[in-house]
Amino acid sequence: MSKTSLPAPDHATRLREALLAAAFTADGLLDLLGAPAYAALARSETVPALRATRGDTPLDTLVRLFLLQRPVPAGRAAAVLPLPECVTDGWLTESDGEVRASVDVRPYSGPDDQDWFIVSDLGCAVGGAGGIGSHEEGVVLGIGGASTTLAGITVRRPVGSALDIGTGSGIQALHASQHATRVTATDLNPRALGFTRLTLALSGAAPADLREGSLYEPVAGETYDLIVSNPPFVISPGARLTYRDGGMAGDDLCRTLVQQTGDRLNEGGYAHFLANWQHTEDEDWQDRLRSWVPYGCDAWVVQREVQDVTQYAELWLRDSGDHRTDPAEYAARYNAWLDEFEASGTKGVGFGWITLRKSAAAAGDPSIVIEEWPHAVEQPLGPAIETHFARQDYLRDQDDAALLAGYFTLAAEVMQEQVGLPGAEDPEHVVLRQNRGMRRATKVDAVGAGFAGVCDGSLPAGRILDAIAQLMNEDPVLLRDRTPQAIRLLVEEGFLEPVPPAGRTAG
């Protein structure tokens, strides 16, 4: 890993053209390396990729230079790249007939298969050649799982203004540049702003308004249609590493970021955050997160994982390379983490996503959904998140009578599973399962299964229930009384979709 002065973006367009001409793209890498070597890179294993690039093609040269960060002969580099400009601008250094990369340049596939490049410090591309560990203060990491997760959960629609807080190497700003008229990116680390400038330039994106500072300090008094942040959310003793440690006690940085968002969002605007939060001995974690939601905002919080304090400490001690230090020093750092957790009564740490939406209706009746969902999902989730809030708007305006008068269709991706003993006349239970989005599954009774199966937008819910009551010899009044809550839940979780008047079929 190396911290040098950053390259100048003066000739980024020429460099980009050279990279693309050599197929130095996400697809090109997969074709060259093959799936096993490509996957090994994500595990910080470089030997398979080194073996796959023993040739002298332009792509071999670029992979070794920028991805594996090995020196290559200057003549080979000059055959592929505009070498004088790359050296003058600082992308490469030349010595004794060889050239080396001064920064990590990593191909990244954007939406619609756009070819982008993420620029970061050497050895700091997550899962890259140097792996993660032994990072110095102030270094800037490249693309990683957290970055792609946040990009995937973000609602993508044309907006006037977007804000990326803690931009790092500029991945979220790059995504936002595709659908926002104006992008502002902030970071406490000025080096990160420099890398964001390079990422945008090398990816052929419009420049962003780059501002130095913490949280909302650089944009005081301004509001946005979209706010995203992969903040330094790690709950740690002290603030050793800017890219991960927030420097506030416990989960205060994430709490402050979320609570201050209400005043920064325009009406109808979305905010998306990755966050950690404490599980303490004297407070339910859901109540803790509910207290973070700012006035005037709807919220959807999804806890994806919970680690006990020992697992959490070990994860981040490995991240910083402390497991490779002197055993006594490692033990001292480990104890410091456990002392911090013991003092705050923390028994575990949750990780997940927080989405806020500014809504006039939320001022009087906010929709706040806080749940645990550790199961596999289908990215990108942005469309599913947008429809979640649309369903909340619908349900907020529907009492039981309105639900029974409503028309619904079964969501296209929902399948029905019957679970029971082989040969049994009736299943033990029926499961509705989504094959897309959150990929939820829910058990339903015979009434619920029959109701969902009949919903095609042609009949109101009440008439469907009346027909089911007749078939099952049940009292239709009692069935109407007890079913709206089940319908509400199926709508809320996306199994049923409300049909507007214009979309209803004749029944």
Reduce the DSSP state of residue 375 to 3 states and report it: coil
CB atoms within 10 A of CB 244: 18
Closest CA to 12 of 20, 23, 4, 1: 20
- 192 within 8 A of 185, measured Cβ to Cβ: no
Name residue 477's amino acid.
V
Give per-residue pLDDT as tens, 139-160. Answer: 899 988 999 999 999 999 999 9
User: Using CA atoms, how far apart are residues 439 and 35, in angstroms rounded to an integer?
Assistant: 26
User: Using CA atoms, how far apart are residues 294 and 258, in angstroms rounded to an integer?
Assistant: 7
User: What predicted TM-score, i.e. pTM, was given to this entire model?
Assistant: 0.93
Which residues are CB-contacts of 414 (< 8 A; sequence separation ≥ 6)?
Answer: 432, 433, 434, 435, 452, 495
Name residue 79's amino acid.
A
Res. 132: pLDDT tops 50: no
User: Using CA atoms, how far apart are residues 148 and 195, in angstroms rounded to an integer?
Assistant: 17
User: Using CA atoms, how far apart are residues 153 and 150, in angstroms rounded to an integer?
Assistant: 5
CA distances from 416 to 227, 441, 468 (A): 38, 10, 18
Pairing of strands 104-109, 92-95: unpaired
Give per-residue pLDDT as tens, 460-491. Answer: 999 999 999 999 999 999 999 999 999 999 99
Q: Listing from the earlier edge strand, what are the strands of the sheet with 407-410?
A: 456-460, 407-410, 496-498
Between helix 190-202 and helix 12-21 the angle, nearest 10°, is 50
Q: What's the rounded mean pLDDT across residues 278-295?
A: 97
Confidence tier at 1 by pLDDT (50, 70, 90): very low
Q: Which residues pair with 226 in a beta bridge?
A: 162, 270
Q: What's the rounded mean pLDDT across residues 359-378?
A: 95
Give per-residue pLDDT as tens, 82-109. Answer: 999 999 999 999 999 999 999 999 999 9
